[in-house]
Amino acid sequence: MSPRHHSSDVTMVRRAAGNLSAGLQLVLDAHLESCPHCQDRLRLFEATGGALLEQLPPAPLSGASIEKIFVRIDSATVAPSRRRPAAPVRVDGKALPAALSGCAIGPWRYVHPKLRWAKVKLPDAPLERVILLKIAAGFSVPEHGHRGLELTQVLSGAFSDGRALYGPGDLAEADDEVKDHQPRVTAEGECLCLAAVEHPLRINSLLGRLFQPLMGI
């Protein structure tokens, strides 16, 4: 089934402009893999950005600027065919989205017997706030608010957060506008999610605040 919940246009424009943090981009890219609708939107926004750039009048570059550009091009050139493809990341025997390839997944830790999490460390951006969450059927995560953007991709299972019901392949987006939400997993089964936040969450419960520094979100 095709995903029913997608990123906002603002987030997709940031992705097209290369303006998302590496962690948020990872989660959005995991969504893009299974969402033809968002693949089309991204192509549209990239094409629109390219067309706008073409309309800008050409500006002369100084010799120093040209030199800097060549240095950047040289340092950025990596022949893709020489890169060793990273093995897919697996959880419980299931392959996770290819966007996670090359990431190191930390050990599973408990916040509560019904809520486990594992840190996702990006090879080039290890400080990004990205985690995998395994939440038992019927359980609610600690109530929290946001500072900046939060993206959550559902890998299996489903949860609802008072705004919508999110199932496999769906992307839930929340920001400062979403006050104190408390996603709850549906009764049908465990939910596995990939989540990233731009800035640390505002967690209201004592239990959540105790674990927040460890979880890094």
Q: Enumerate binding residues for Zn ion (CB under 5 A).
A: 3, 6, 35, 37-38
**Distance in angstroms (rounded) separating the CA atoms of residues 102 and 85:** 8
Smallest distance from Zn ion to CB 16, Å: 14
Pick from 90, 118, 122, 117: which is nearest to 103 by CA?
Answer: 122
Q: Is the dihedral of CA 150, 175, 168, 205 positive or negative?
A: positive
How far apart CA 195 and CA 211 sit, in angstroms, is: 16
Q: Quote the least distance from Cβ 169 to Zn ion, whole Å.
A: 8
Nearer to Zn ion, 38 or 131 (CB): 38
Q: Which is nearer to Zn ion, 149 or 203 (CB)?
A: 149
Q: What is the DSSP letter of 140?
A: B
Nearer to Zn ion (CB atom), residue 38 or residue 158: 38
Asked if residue 186 lies in contact with residue 159, where contact means CB atoms within 8 angstroms, the answer is yes
Residue with tokens 């709850």: 184
CB of residue 126 to Zn ion, shortest distance in Å: 27
Q: In the complex, what is the shortest distance from the CB of residue 29 to Zn ion, in angstroms, rounded to a whole number?
A: 11
- Beta carbon nearer to Zn ion, 28 or 131: 28
